[in-house]
C-alpha cells in the first residue's frame, strides 16, 4: 500500500521544482527546546500554533518531544509518548495536515504509526534498536538524518575526511539497511543534519554543496532554521536569526531541497513565493 503522505503532497522529483517544495513547521513540545524555549509545551497553545502554521501554508507539522540540542536532557519513552501522542491524535482529528514525529525511539514510532503519523523524522536514521523493524511493518515515510556522534557530545570535535563524501557514504549505508529490512526507497527522505556533529565551517560546506545530496535520487530535507550556524556567523541571538535562516533556506532550495524544516512558516512561504515568481521569467 502506498503511504498517504506520498499520495497527497510529497514530492518525489529529483529535479528542482519550486512548486513541490514542502514547508515543515517545527512544533517542539519539550520544556527545554533551544529556540522556542518550551513555548508550546502546553497542549492548547500547541494546537493554536498548529492552526496558525496551517493558515500560513505549512505542508507538514514536525512534532518533537525530546530536544536534540547539544547537552539536552534525555527523556524516557513514557514521557515522550505522553508529550507527543495526544497531540498527534488531536491534530489528526481536527486538521487535514501531514504530521511527522521527530523521534529515535521505536516505542514512540510504533505509537505514532498507530495514531496516523505520516512520517518519522529520525535524527539517528533508524539506527536505534527496533526502529528498522517497526518502520518496516508500516507504510510510513522516514527522514534519515546524518549526525556524527550523539547529541550530548557531538559538537566537541567533529572531524571528517571529506564531509560530503562521508555523509553520502552514510546515506548509502542507511538506504541499504532500510531496503534490507523491507523499507523501500520511495519511503525515504535524506537530511545532511545541519549542526549535528559539524563545525561552523562544515555546516557552510554542506550548504554550499547541498546539491550533491540529490545524487542518490531521493528527496532531501534542509533544517537550518535559527541554528547556531546562523547565530555564530552573524552574532545573533536565537530570536534574531530570521533573516539569516531565510537566506540559508533559499540557498538550499535553489540547490534542490524538497523540504525545509522551519520555525517561521509564514516568512518561509513568502520567501518561496518570491523564488516562484522569479522562476516564471527564467529562460
Task: Cite the active site residues.
Answer: 227, 261
Burial class (CB within 10 angstroms; exposed 0-12, middle 13-18, buried 19+) of 157:
exposed
State in Å, rounded, how far the first CA of the chain is from the last one.
Answer: 40
Interaction of residue 145 with ligand 9MG, rule CB under 6 A: yes
Q: How many residues form the binding site for ligand 9MG (CB under 6 A)?
A: 13
Interaction of residue 198 with ligand 9MG, rule CB under 6 A: no
Q: Closest CB to ligand 9MG among 134 and 221? A: 221
Instruction: Provide, rounded to whole angstroms, the least separation between the CB of residue 182 and ligand 9MG.
Output: 22
Interacting residues with ligand 9MG between 45 and 74 (CB under 6 A): 64, 68
User: Which of 59, 80, 102, 141 is in the footprint of ligand 9MG by CB under 6 A?
Assistant: 102
Q: Closest CB to ligand 9MG among 31 and 274? A: 31
Q: Closest CB to ligand 9MG among 111 and 191? A: 191
Query: What is the four-CA torsion angle of 161, 165, 168, 173, rounded to 10 degrees?
Result: -60
| 200 to 239: interface string for ligand 9MG, x by CB under 6 A | ---------------------x-x----------------
Interaction of residue 158 with ligand 9MG, rule CB under 6 A: no
Angle between helices 77-94 and 43-55 (to 10 degrees): 50
Interacting residues with ligand 9MG between 3 and 42 (CB under 6 A): none
DSSP E strand stretches across 7-103: 22-28, 60-64, 98-102
Distance between alpha carbon 247 and the CA centroid of its chain, in Å? 18
Tell me if 30 sits within 8 A of 73, measured CB to CB. no
How many Cβ atoms are within 10 Å of 71's Cβ, its own excluded?
A: 12
Distance CA 222, CA 207 (A): 9
Chain residues in the site for ligand 9MG (CB under 6 A): 64, 68, 102, 121, 123, 143, 145, 191, 193-194, 221, 223, 261
Amino acid at each position: 500500500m502506498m503511504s498517504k503522505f506520498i499520495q497527497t503532497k510529497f514530492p518525489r522529483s529529483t529535479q528542482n521544482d519550486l512548486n513541490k517544495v514542502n514547508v515543515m513547521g517545527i512544533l517542539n513540545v519539550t520544556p527545554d527546546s533551544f529556540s522556542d524555549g518550551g513555548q508550546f509545551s502546553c497542549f492548547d497553545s500547541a494546537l493554536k500554533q498548529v492552526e496558525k502554521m496551517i493558515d500560513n501554508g505549512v505542508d507538514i507539522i514536525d512534532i518533537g518531544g525530546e530536544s536534540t540540542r547539544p547537552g539536552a536532557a534525555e527523556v524516557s519513552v513514557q514521557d515522550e509518548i505522553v508529550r507527543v501522542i495526544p497531540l498527534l491524535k488531536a491534530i489528526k482529528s481536527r486538521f487535514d495536515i501531514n504530521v511527522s514525529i521527530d523521534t529515535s525511539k521505536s516505542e514512540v514510532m510504533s505509537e505514532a504509526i498507530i495514531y496516523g503519523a505520516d512520517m518519522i523524522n529520525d535524527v539517528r536514521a533508524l539506527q536505534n534498536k527496533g526502529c528498522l523493524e517497526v518502520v518496516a511493518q508500516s507504510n510510513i515515510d522516514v527522514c534519515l538524518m546524518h549526525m556524527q556522534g550523539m547529541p550530548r557530545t557531538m559538537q566537541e570535535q567533529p572531524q571528517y575526511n571529506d564531509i560530503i563524501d562521508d555523509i553520502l557514504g552514510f546515506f548509502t549505508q542507511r538506504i541499504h539497511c532500510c531496503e534490507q529490512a523491507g523499507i523501500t526507497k520511495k519511503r525515504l527522505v535524506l537530511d545532511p543534519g545541519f549542526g549535528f556533529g559539524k563545525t561552523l565551517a562544515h555546516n557552510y560546506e554542506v550548504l554550499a554543496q547541498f546539491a550533491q545530496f540529490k545524487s542518490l535520487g531521493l528527496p532531501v530535507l534542509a533544517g537550518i532554521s535559527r541554528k547556531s550556524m546562523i547565530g555564530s556567523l552573524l552574532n545573533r541571538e536565537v530570536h534574531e536569526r530570521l533573516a539569516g535562516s531565510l537566506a540559508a533556506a533559499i540557498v538550499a532550495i535553489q540547490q534542490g531541497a524538497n523540504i525545509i524544516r522551519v520555525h517561521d512558516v509564514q516568512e518561509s512561504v513568502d520567501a518561496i513565493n518570491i523564488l516562484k515568481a522569479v522562476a516564471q521569467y527564467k529562460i
